[in-house]
Amino acid sequence: MNDNYREIADKIKESDAILIGASNGFSICEGLHLFAGDQAFQELFPDFIEKYGFRNILEASFFKFPKEEEKWTYLSRLIWHYSGTYHGSSVMDSLKSIIMDKPYFIVTSNGEGHFSLAGLENKQIYEIEGNWFSMQCAHRCHDTLYPSMDVIKKMAEVQQTGKITSKMIPKCPVCGREMQIHVATDHNFIPDSDGQKRFQSFVNQYHGKNLVVLELGIGWRNQLIKAPLMNLVNQEPNATYVTVNKGEIYIPEVIKHKSFGVDGDMTEILTLLKEKMTSM
């Protein structure tokens, strides 16, 4: 395994750019587990668990609340806890050290916005399923996005002493109906066409060059990110594929000769890779 880390570190050092793909496995390392009814979930939402029997964040996030006040009580508590008070993590620090001064681009299905909050460039990030920092008309009467964090903060603060009232609920400035956080929960989601263009521009810029595709916490079923990244590696003669995941490593036969699969705890793996790079 030490030889693998050395080889991966060499590939990153020699690369012209790094393309990072990240999904739920990365969020889990930072303490945000969408699929688990863990202690953090139970401590944050005891009232919603008791009333609706929610088992995890994902289930609650797709739930059609009967009242807008309840919906925004849940959303503001969730978003402020995981993003409004975010101060970085060891796995994020390791990733930033691995990137160093290399040109990079991040494509992610994570919506908590931690990459930008950690100081990585917004223009180098494509959040393919949206993020918590914007909101849109729930009925998509138009495609403008609006900032959400001021609303989220006020609602989160109110919950410390009271309840969210109807007057605090954001309304669409065009049609006057409900707003929703800009994440892909239904067919009204507004795609980030600018992010897609920036992603494609990065791929075009480093076509034929030494590109490292670093994939973090993406399961083999994820066709949204994993499949395009593997196809890109297959098409690019000088690309190297590095996939990091716990308990599940999938590399197609066609790209195995230029791939590395690292199975285990991502925090530990990126720490070791960072140390290997800084010692070179």
CB of 147 closer than 8 Å to CB of 133: yes
> What is the DSSP secondary-structure string of 54-101?
--SHHHHHT---SSHHHHHHHHHHHHIIIIIT----HHHHHHHHHHTT
- Average pLDDT score, the chain: 95
Q: Indicate the pLDDT class of residue 10, thresholds 50, 70 and 90.
A: very high
Taking the CA atoms of 90, 95, 101 and 103 in sequence, report the sign of the dihedral they define: negative
Assigned token pair, 53: 């029997």
Assigned token pair, 68: 């807008």
Give CA–CA dist 139/208, Å, rounded: 43
pLDDT at 37 over 90: no
The percent of residues in the chain predicted with pLDDT above 90, rounded, is 91
Give CA–CA dist 74/167, Å, rounded: 17
pLDDT at 3 over 80: no
| Predicted pLDDT at 8 | 96
Give CA–CA dist 35/37, Å, rounded: 7
The domain ranges of the chain are 2-30+90-128+193-278, 39-86+133-183
Q: Indicate the pLDDT class of residue 270, thresholds 50, 70 and 90.
A: very high
What residue type is 157 in one-letter code?
Answer: E
| Predicted pLDDT at 2 | 56
CB of 143 closer than 8 Å to CB of 190: yes
Burial of 15 (0-12, 13-18, 19+ CB in 10 A): buried
Give CA–CA dist 76/63, Å, rounded: 15
- SS3 label, residue 198: helix
Q: Which helix (H) or strand (E) holds 107?
A: strand 104-108
Taking the CA atoms of 36, 39, 40 and 43 in sequence, report the sign of the dihedral they define: positive
Question: Which CATH code, of 3.30.1600, 3.30.70, 1.10.12, 2.40.10, is assigned to 39-86+133-183?
Answer: 3.30.1600
What DSSP state is assigned to residue 71?
Answer: H
Angle between helices 149-158 and 68-79 in degrees, nearest 10: 100
Largest CA distance in the chain: 60
| Predicted pLDDT at 196 | 97
Report, in angstroms and rounded to the nearest whole number, the Rg of the chain calculated over CA atoms.
Answer: 20
pLDDT at 275 over 60: yes
pLDDT at 97 over 80: yes
CATH number of 2-30+90-128+193-278: 3.40.50.1220
* SS3 per-residue string spanning 187-214: CCCCCCHHHHHHHHHHHHHCCCCCEEEE
What DSSP state is assigned to residue 83?
Answer: I
pLDDT digits (tens, 9 = 90+) for 143-201: 999 999 999 999 999 998 889 999 999 999 999 999 999 999 999 999 999 999 999 99
